[in-house]
């Protein structure tokens, strides 16, 4: 009992320090300095990430229930080329091989997610626990620890049990708060003695906006102007409840940490001397990351969200704001429920003011009154939305430091895709992206930002949601046309491995040699892949099966 009181006192003191440490972010100070040769603090953790639906496959194997993504991808026209994650990387069967890859890279941690319907097929703890699903994750965690790789576990990476969507409307219904807490509690009970880092939700912005506003992602609902806000409201409550459950029932025994992973692009004012542009850029961040971070750290939604959505709701003749309201008790309950902040970041936008008349209708995007722009000179090697703008990463990290009292940060996703017609393992653009973005993170640590670890996205090429297999983020190339889903290292594997072994960028001469050496090693992988494909193609022709497996890219 005394230990629990001391732990709770620690969290209260930490929260007081966080609130008192808040300061204003200087929008006019954008230092774009030259490359910084130095190393990361001792104990800095290097890792790579994945998620259950994107990599596991085995969608209806060993008692797993259906998720909203299983249902969504089987509807024609929802996913590019009608791809599905039914088999994906076959990670359910190949996790031992994948851990061998991690060990070779000398990763300190591996971030993965637990599929809710794989261990609770109906979504409900009281109905049926799938012990085969429990065993899979138990084996995965044990093997990671045997290889001295720390598991960082995400509880919700978008795969809600389909039953809960059909019966209750998913995250539109407040009952999800208790159902999710039951699922999380089961995970703490079964895996908590071995897992010390828990992430409640991955990128709740995407769950809310793309799942319940635009319908681009599962469950595909288009509830414009209301659906995203309601889903987010329930997600924030669910996060807080899980944090309190861990704090009261498990923390003193298991001594772990519970955080959340928020993904955010940086928004830079088009003109840093123009106050309207500065306000628009801050609105962009607050409607993106602040939507979730501000309640969790400070107890309520950002004031600018309350003002803008409330005003537009009034102009539309509504009696109340479309943004839900937290009660005083809920504000107190939610505030401070974060032991660390997971931060996903990929790119940057320039932002300027753009007024959207209320007569155009309800929309999360119209509520913000802004326009997003890109510089045509920014490199864009892959996804149409992903431009390489390294300096934005440092800006975002410093913004978190000033806004939320310099919380402990683990970068949970950062990486770049390629969208190419031919197979190319010598991914020089990815090496450049990692070099530049990781260096901006190092500068942010020099600025005093409390970053403890970095997670490259992703370990493997995998199923990229509505883009199917057309975009590849992996350090390892996965041959999806081969039913065995073999992995081949890209040059970036060797490059990232050298960053890890050096714990940063020790000196210019050494760092400049890394890319050259990495490209040299990838030529043999290219030859192996080409030979495997020729053999595969020959076997298909011999059997008269020109399309034995889906072909997503042509050599």
pTM value surpassing 0.85: yes
Contact predicate 110/48, CB 8 Å: yes
Q: What's residue 249's pLDDT?
A: 98
DSSP 227: H
Q: Is the pLDDT of residue 280 over 50?
A: yes
Which helix (H) or strand (E) segment holds residue 393: the answer is helix 391-403
- Residue 7 included in any domain: no
- Residue 503 included in any domain: yes
Q: What's residue 437's pLDDT?
A: 98
- Residue 19 included in any domain: no
CA distance 480 to 500: 28
Work out the pLDDT band at 12, boundaries 50, 70, 90: very low
DSSP 164: H
**Tens digit of each residue's pLDDT (9 = 90 or more) over 333-392:** 999 999 999 999 999 999 999 999 877 778 999 999 999 999 999 998 778 899 999 999
- Residue 320 included in any domain: yes
In this predicted structure, which of 77-91, 163-177, 185-199, 416-430 has the lowest mean pLDDT? 416-430
Q: What's residue 529's pLDDT?
A: 77
Determine how β-strand 476-478 pairs with β-strand 504-505: unpaired
- Residue 548 included in any domain: no
| Rounded alpha-carbon distances, angstroms, from residue 97 to 62, 63, 68, 133, 463 | 20, 23, 28, 19, 19
Terminal Cα distance for the chain, rounded = 64
Q: Which of 512, 488, 491 is nearest to 502 (CA)?
A: 512
Q: Which of 203, 200, 209 is nearest to 238 (CA)?
A: 200
- Cα 214-395-505 angle, rounded to 5 deg: 115
When divided into structural domains, the chain yields a total of: 1
CA distance 269 to 400: 17
**Tens digit of each residue's pLDDT (9 = 90 or more) over 290-335:** 999 999 999 999 999 999 999 999 999 999 999 999 999 999 999 9
- Residue 11 included in any domain: no
Work out the pLDDT band at 13, boundaries 50, 70, 90: very low
Active site residue 23: no
CA distance 212 to 225: 10
CA distance 325 to 315: 19
Long-range pairs of 436-441 with CB within 8 A, sequence gap ≥ 24: 436/388, 436/390, 437/388, 437/390, 437/393, 438/499, 438/504, 439/35, 439/36, 439/390, 439/505, 440/390, 440/391, 440/393, 440/394, 440/397, 441/393, 441/394, 441/397, 441/411
- Cα 495-415-207 angle, rounded to 5 deg: 155
Q: Is the pLDDT of residue 550 over 50?
A: no
Q: Which of 291, 354, 358 is nearest to 326 (CA)?
A: 291
Q: What's residue 199's pLDDT?
A: 99
DSSP 67: B
Q: What's residue 9's pLDDT?
A: 40
Q: Is 38 helix (H, G, I), strand (E, B) or coil?
A: strand
Mean pLDDT of the chain: 91
Q: Is the pLDDT of residue 507 over 80?
A: yes
Percent of the chain with pLDDT over 90: 84
Tell me the two tokens of residue 434.
């990692």
Catalytic residue among 56, 213, 282, 413: 413
Range of the domain at 62: 34-532
Q: What's residue 326's pLDDT?
A: 98
- Cα 463-469-470 angle, rounded to 5 deg: 140
CATH of the domain at 69: 3.20.20.80
**Tens digit of each residue's pLDDT (9 = 90 or more) over 187-227:** 999 999 999 999 999 999 999 999 999 999 999 999 999 99
- Cα 508-510-511 angle, rounded to 5 deg: 65
What is the radius of gyration, based on Cα positions, of the chain? 23
Q: Is the pLDDT of residue 543 over 50?
A: no
- Residue 25 included in any domain: no
Q: Is the pLDDT of residue 119 over 60?
A: yes
- Residue 84 included in any domain: yes
Long-range pairs of 12-17 with CB within 8 A, sequence gap ≥ 24: 12/336, 14/336, 15/335, 15/336, 17/405
Q: Is the pLDDT of residue 16 over 50?
A: no
Contacts of 504 (CB under 8 A, 6+ apart): 38, 39, 40, 438, 442
Tell me the two tokens of residue 4.
């629990």
DSSP H helical segments within 106-168, as ranges? 116-119, 131-146, 162-168
């Amino acid at each position: 009992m005394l230990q629990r009181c001391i732990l709770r006192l620690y969290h209260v003191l930490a929260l007081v320090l966080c609130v008192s440490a808040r300061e204003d972010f200087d929008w006019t100070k954008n230092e774009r300095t030259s490359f910084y040769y130095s190393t990361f603090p001792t104990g800095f953790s290097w890792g790579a990430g994945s998620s259950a639906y994107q990599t596991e496959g085995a969608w209806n194997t060993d008692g797993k229930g259906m998720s909203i993504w299983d249902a969504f991808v089987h509807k024609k026209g929802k996913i590019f080329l009608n791809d599905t994650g039914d088999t994906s990387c076959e990670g359910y069967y190949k996790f031992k091989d994948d851990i061998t890859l991690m060990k070779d890279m000398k990763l300190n941690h591996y971030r993965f997610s637990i599929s809710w319907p794989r261990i609770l097929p109906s979504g409900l703890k009281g109905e049926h626990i799938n012990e085969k699903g429990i065993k899979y994750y138990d084996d995965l965690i044990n093997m990671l620890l045997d290889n001295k790789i720390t598991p960082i576990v995400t509880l919700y990476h978008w795969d809600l049990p389909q039953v809960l969507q059909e019966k209750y409307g998913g995250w539109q219904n407040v009952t999800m708060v208790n159902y999710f807490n039951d699922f999380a509690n089961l995970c703490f009970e079964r895996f908590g003695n071995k897992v010390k880092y828990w992430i409640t939700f991955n990128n709740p912005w995407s769950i809310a906006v793309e799942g319940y506003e635009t319908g681009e992602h599962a469950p595909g609902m288009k509830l414009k102007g209301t659906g995203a806000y309601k889903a987010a409201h329930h997600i924030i409550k669910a996060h807080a409840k899980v944090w309190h459950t861990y704090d009261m029932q498990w923390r003193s025994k298991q001594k772990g940490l519970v955080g959340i992973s928020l993904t955010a692009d940086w928004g830079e004012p088009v003109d840093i001397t123009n106050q309207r542009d500065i306000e628009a850029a801050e609105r962009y961040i607050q409607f993106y990351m602040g939507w979730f971070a501000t309640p969790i750290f400070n107890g309520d939604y950002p004031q600018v969200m309350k003002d803008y959505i409330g005003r537009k709701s009034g102009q539309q003749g509504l009696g109340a704001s479309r943004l839900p309201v937290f009660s005083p008790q809920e504000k107190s309950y939610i505030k401070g429920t974060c032991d660390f902040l997971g931060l996903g970041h990929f790119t940057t936008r320039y932002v300027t003011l753009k007024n959207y008349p209320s007569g155009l209708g309800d929309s999360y995007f119209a509520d913000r009154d802004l326009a997003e722009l890109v510089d045509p000179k920014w490199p864009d090697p892959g996804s149409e939305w992903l431009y390489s703008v390294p300096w934005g990463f440092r800006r975002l990290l410093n913004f978190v430091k000033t806004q939320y009292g310099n919380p402990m940060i683990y970068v949970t996703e950062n990486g770049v895709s390629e969208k190419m017609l031919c197979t190319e393992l010598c991914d020089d653009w990815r090496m450049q992206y990692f070099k530049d973005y990781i260096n901006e993170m190092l500068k942010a640590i020099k600025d005093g930002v409390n970053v403890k670890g970095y997670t490259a996205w992703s370990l493997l090429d995998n199923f990229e949601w509505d883009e199917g297999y057309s975009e590849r983020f992996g350090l390892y190339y996965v041959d999806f046309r081969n039913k065995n889903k073999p992995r081949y290292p890209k040059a970036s594997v060797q490059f990232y491995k050298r960053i890890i072994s050096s714990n940063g960028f020790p000196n210019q001469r050494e760092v400049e040699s890394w890319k050259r050496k990495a490209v040299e090693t990838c030529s043999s992988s290219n030859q192996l892949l080409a030979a495997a494909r020729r053999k595969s193609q020959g076997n298909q022709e011999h059997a008269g099966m020109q399309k034995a497996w889906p072909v997503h890219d042509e050599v």
